[in-house]
Amino acid sequence: MNKNSLLSMHDLSTNDIIHILRDASLFNVSYSDWQLPCSKALVANLFFEASTRTHYSFESAELQLGCRVADVQTSASSVTKGETLYDTVKTLESVGYDAVVIRHSQDAYYKELEGINIPILNAGDGAGDHPTQCLLDLLTMYQEFGTLEGLNVLICGDIQHSRVAASNKTALEEFGSTVRFSGPKEWEREGYEHVDFDEALPKADVVMMLRIQKERGAAIQGLSDAEYLKQYGLTKERYAKMKENAIIMHPAPVNRGVEIDTDLVEAPKSRIFKQMSNGVLVRKAVIKRAFGYAPFEEKK
Ligand code: CP
């Protein structure tokens, strides 16, 4: 496996994370025009699961860095003829691609890819990890609070199926923040501290709402969208009880009127669209790192 791959937040030390977040921030100011040498930047994007934000923000980041990009149509590839994921990725490596970005429904799919030499960037694996989403979440929190230490983060909803919850727990606890979870009992996850939403919400710095992952089989019989919002979602009444400086986050896609009241998606405390813009900056930093470039020096 290439050492510059990014597969899981467990692969990154706090120092690595700080370097990526700093590079992402510098891409927004003094290094906005920085590009990779064209001859060494052929990137293939393989999305075996639906995606808007991750797919197109990776593509935006790649194009901004001067990469040439192959958007592999997985439904029209030889995967449909029974080819393994390993053989597909090995083929892309053999025909000249320098890096691959992969989203797949299987947890830790990358364990099959030990024999691949080019960097692999994980764009989400089942309910496993979503490292670039976590990095953009960390950047958004850092911009807001100037630190990742001592934050009180409340993640609400379908915890069991959420790779976003898993990645954020790993990273935020490493930095010394407290991460607690709430939502339906059916979707609690072992090893995660579950708390009462209404008790925890007024103390939280960050309230991160999650979508119900229906594609992973999440469903509660007989619970309507309106009832879900009332019991587990961010309603206007709950919003009014948030701390003055607290923020709302959501990895999106958002199911308006289910996990969050539609009027709150762009409310003053919401950073949901800011998270998406930060996604491009973070992915530029991760791609730069994948190609072996050291962290930027601050320009004087
Ligand atoms: N947050 C996220 O991963 O969104 P997409 O599924 O649209 O990529």
Ligand 1 mutation pick, 53, 209, 259, max ligand atoms within 8 A of CB: 53
Residues 6+ apart with CB under 8 A from 89: 46, 100, 102, 113, 116, 120
Q: Which atom of ligand 1 is nearest to the CA of 251?
A: 1
User: Strand 120-125 and strand 42-47: pairing?
Assistant: unpaired
CA of 253 to the centre of ligand 1 (A): 6
Identify the pLDDT of residue 214: 74
Instruction: Please determine, for residue 60, whether its predicted confidence score (pLDDT) is greater than 90.
Output: yes
- Distance (Å) from CA 162 to ligand 1 centroid: 12
Residue 283 alpha carbon to ligand 1 centre in Å: 13
Q: What is the pLDDT of residue 299?
A: 73
Going by pLDDT thresholds of 50, 70 and 90, the confidence category of residue 39 is low
* Statement: residue 220 has pLDDT above 90: no
pLDDT in tens, 97-130: 999 999 999 999 999 999 999 999 999 999 899 9
CA of 65 to the centre of ligand 1 (A): 21
CA 252 to ligand 1: nearest atom: 1
What pLDDT shows up at residue 37? 79
pLDDT of residue 55: 98
300 CA distance to ligand 1 middle (Å): 36
CB 208 within 8 A of CB 156: yes
* Cα separation, 103 vs 147, whole angstroms: 30
The residue whose CA is least distant from atom 1 of ligand 1 is 251
Among the ranges given (82-91, 211-220, 273-282, 286-295), the one the predictor scored with the smallest mean pLDDT: 211-220
- In this model, does residue 218 exceed pLDDT 90? no
pLDDT digits (tens, 9 = 90+) for 165-193: 999 999 999 999 999 999 999 899 999 99
Question: What mean pLDDT is reported for the chain?
Answer: 94
Grade residue 219 by pLDDT with cuts at 50, 70 and 90: confident
> Stretch 210-224: mean pLDDT, rounded?
78
Report, in angstroms and rounded to the nearest whole number, the Rg of the chain calculated over CA atoms. Answer: 19
Distance (angstroms) between ligand 1 centre and the Cα of 272 equals: 12
**Residue ranges around ligand 1 (CB below 6 Å):** 51-55, 124, 133, 251-253
pLDDT-above-70 percentage for the chain: 98
Nearest CA to ligand 1 atom 5: 51
